[in-house]
Structure 1
Amino acid sequence: MDMERASERPIIAATRGTKRRGPRLSRADRTPLGLWFWEIDRVLLLLVSMLIAIGLVAVAAASPVAAQKLSTTTASLDPLYYFYRQLMWVIVGVPVMLAISMLPKPQARRFAIYGTLTCLALLFLVPLIGTSVNGAQRWIGSGAFRFQPSEFLKPFFAVSLAWVLSLRLHDQSLPVVPLSFVLTGVIAVLLMGQPDLGQTVIFGATWFVLVLVAGLSMRIMAGLGVAGLVGIVLAYFFYPVAQQRINIWLFESGDSYQVDKAHATLTAGGLIGTGPGAGLAKFQLPEAHTDYIFSVIGEEFGIIACVAIAILYLAIIVRVLVRLLDEEDSFLILAVTALIAQFGGQAIINMAVNTQLFPSKGMTLPFISYGGSSFIALSIGMGLLLSLTRRNPYAARVSMTRNWNKK
């Protein structure tokens, strides 16, 4: 009897453990949802979710500033007006990101190519039917239905350009580099006409990173570097927007009100901040909920919080690059590199502007700044990134086993 009871104990314990765990996705689940759950980079998804949560808190802190300024020209607004709108964009954008992340890699690439063609056509229409806001004609539509084509073009452009350049690795005779240069140049001309210097820099940097990773010779890369310097000099003398911002940044001449107020707000809270909602310097800050939200975070949550956010962005970049270490597909390497370069570059530029390291460019902080077009476009880009970095854990394990057996 004692032996029979002893043999039953492991079965009872196992049964109890199963009941406590409850229903869960099994590794043997071959449904689309099951495959997505086990193939997705869950660490990357967690890091992005943390950014989105921080963004909601930051917009809630900056919303009273923007609402107060808008109330001077319209009816009185709820202090959390922009927070509620940002929450709405999160509710829309997160499902978009997850849906795109479920796309197989060939479908994600096809989706990006079609998106590039559509957004490029809309970018051509901006000078004709675009809406002007604060002296810049960058949007199509009005009110709640207004959107910025260049924001949506960024992630699509990164993946499409990666596909074009990956063709060169299969056939060296294809003139894909000159073709990509012309395409980027056309986009840059359209953006500078809006004017939108910040987006122009992002598109140009994305192209440069891609041709660098694609393996061009050092002679060509040196020529591109010289051409870039010449372009900056020409922009200074013939593009008033660039001249104004470079003068403020390097020579401290001109109207530096925005960057001065941003720096003052950023440092007003010291190391630990004044506390949520207790900031006063933010009410002197223009565009507190968009371009300069990093300064609002510095005032109310402290420099420590700003450093933590910078580390979070760095963790996302490193996580993606580590994910590429064992990748052999040239298109995937280029596409993922372009997407993370865009994401990280935009974050670095925004934080550098707030700390007076870069001239003002009017660029949002990814997933933290307020903005419908910005948030949805970033959700599309992160969805593509999550889709292209999906890995089958069983395939990797089988590959390692085969390599070990060969030895």
Structure 2
Amino acid sequence: MTDMVFGTVAAQPGEPILPRWWRTIDRWTLTFVIALFFIGILLGLAASVPLAQRNGLAPFYYVYKQLFFGVVALIAMIITSMMSPRTVRRLGVLGFLAGFVAICMLPFLGTDFGKGAVRWYSLGFASVQPSEFLKPCFVVFSAWLMAASYEVGGPPGKRMSFVVCLAVVTLLALQPDFGQASLTLAAWGLMYFIAGAPMLLLFALGGCVVAAGFFAYNSSEHFARRIDGFLNPDVDPRTQLGYATNAIQEGGFFGVGVGEGSVKWSLPDAHTDFIIAVAAEEYGLVLVLIIIGLFMAVTVRSLMRLMSERDIFIRLAGTGLAVLFGMQAMINMGVAVRLLPAKGMTLPFVSYGGSSLVAGGIALGMLLAFTRTRAQGDISDILNRDKLAHE
């Protein structure tokens, strides 16, 4: 596999790693991600205090934990972004194998913390959700398989990635974690489409997803309850969706004021799944639009840079990671405004959560590594040169 390509920045032999990293990194994307992290800390100061009070802890206990895991996530992101695409690929493959074993062992060693879904390993002092780490590694692993199918005499990588995807999605759905399963399947489907999948196969896959949805609705009370709540035209004001909807309406354009919101005292997941409701109530539509703009900027900017990439693996892996980041944000905010059924999914880099923060840092580090500037010439230059050669 070749390294990725942007512009014509010349490599400087013997250049120290930090200056080279700073010169080649997408600094705008890095800035946007750090801004999201600080917005998460700001919202955590309001959203997590009621939870700490209910649990008899210091008022800012969860803020300090979020700050700690956030710093770890930023360090992981920076270290990963310094890696070469080949090193990131190896990290993704090894991470996928470890994560796959971890989710296979969840029914035997995992815990649900009273939430009805076995998704975590309890370490005593903290908990780990392996699916958060599995997602970006799965994307890199699948991209590697798909790219290998383009090599002369290469393996049937596309079909192999399809089998792996089915296994991962099935294991996630059995937890049950339909949100992560849907997100993983969507990212893989887009990568498969970019890799040249026939439309008939994609339509057939869509039909299978619909059939699986009907089966899950009829066989899972957890899934059916969430779908029924979403389809019900009347929102119970005593439910999480009811509290979140009311908070967003009360916030208006400029919010009710810092610390003046009430939804954080009613929502048990105000600091995680419904953090956007806290932002809307206390800071109004203005902050919500800023958050949406930051997520859009990271996703779109990354995709635009990847459009000039000529290495198939990097293009596929980078696209999958960007889609994971953008779609998870879209799903989280879509649930809060009742555009989507409840999924139990955090807002990347904004919501509280150790696993989601650190895994998000690794995923964004991989994406930043794939979108770094490399001195190999732009793909458009190559196409124009070939065109002139044939004229």
Normalised by the size of structure 2, how large is the TM-score? Answer: 0.90
Question: Corresponding residue for 2:176?
Answer: 195
Matched, 1:57 2:58: no
My pick for the range that moved more, 141-150 or 173-182, is 173-182
1: distance between equivalents of 2:373 and 2:162? Answer: 32
2:6 match:
none
Unaligned runs of 5+ in 2: 1-10
Q: Which residue is 2:57 aligned to?
A: 77
Deviations 1:28-84 (A, max 9, x none): 8711222211111111111111111111111112011221232xxxxx322211111
Structure showing greater Rg? 1
| Stretch deviating more after TM superposition (221-230 or 296-305) | 221-230
Look up the match of 1:7: none
Cα 1:402–1:27 change in 2 (3 A) is: farther
Q: Is contact 2:235-2:242 (8 Å) kept? A: no
- Give the conservation status (yes or no) of the 8 Å contact 2:103–2:130: yes
CA-to-partner distance for each residue in 1:303-353, whole Å, 9 max, x for gaps? 121112111111111110110121111111100010011111100000000
Higher RCO, Cα 8 Å, sep 6+: 2
Corresponding position of 1:242: 223
- 1:153 aligned onto 2:138: no
Percent of paired sites with the same residue: 38
Q: 2:18 aligns with which of 33, 38, 44?
A: 33
- Range with bigger deviation, 321-330 or 338-347: 321-330
Local SS of the residue matching 2:128: coil
Q: Distance in 2 between matches of 1:188 and 1:398?
A: 35
Letter in 2 for 1:150: S
Higher helix share: 1
1:165 to 146, 161, 165: 146
Q: Map Cα deviations across residues 238-283 of structure 1 (whole Å, 9 max, x no partner).
A: 2222211111111358977111111112222211012221112321
Question: Separation in 2 of the partners of 1:188 and 1:253?
Answer: 32
In structure 2, give the amino acid aligned to 1:89: F
Amino acid in structure 2 at the alignment position of 1:372: G
Gaps of 5+ in 1: 1-25, 71-75
- For 1:144, which of 125, 142, 156 is the aligned residue? 125
CA distance in 2, matches of 1:398, 1:190: 39
Instruction: Tell me, yes or no, if structure 1 residue 274 matches structure 2 residue 259.
Output: no
Deviation of residue 398 (structure 1)?
Answer: 12
Q: Which residue of 2 aligns with 1:13?
A: none
Instruction: Decide whether the 8 Å contact of 1:336 with 1:388 is kept in 2.
Output: yes
- Displacement of 1:402 in angstroms is 12
Partner of 2:371: 389
Counterpart of 1:295 in structure 2 is 277
Say which of 338, 352, 360 aligns to 1:356: 338
The equivalent position to 2:77 in structure 1, one of 79, 92, 97, is 97
TM-score (norm 1): 0.87
Q: 2:106 aligns with which of 126, 129, 136?
A: 126
Distance (whole Å) between structure 2 residues aligned to residue 233 and residue 31 of structure 1: 56
Q: Which amino acid aligns with 1:381?
A: A
Q: Distance in 1 between matches of 2:199 and 2:253?
A: 44
Correspondence 1:218 to 2:212:
no
Cα distance change on mapping 1:45 and 1:357 into 2, 3 Å: same
Instruction: Please give the secondary structure, in 2, of the residue aligned with 1:138.
Output: coil
Q: How far apart are the structure 2 equivalents of 1:301 and 1:28?
A: 49
- AA aligned opposite 1:48: V
Tell me whether 144-153 or 294-303 shows the greater mean CA deviation: 144-153
CA offsets 1:71-123 (integer angstroms, 9 cap, x no match) = xxxxx322211111111112211111111111111111011100100111111
Q: Which digits, 9 at most, give the CA deviation of each residue in 1:114-170, with x for residues without a partner?
A: 010011111111111112212221111233232011111111111111111112233
Q: Distance in 2 between matches of 1:253 and 1:273?
A: 25
TM superposition shift of 1:189: 2.2
Letter in structure 2 aligned against 1:223: A
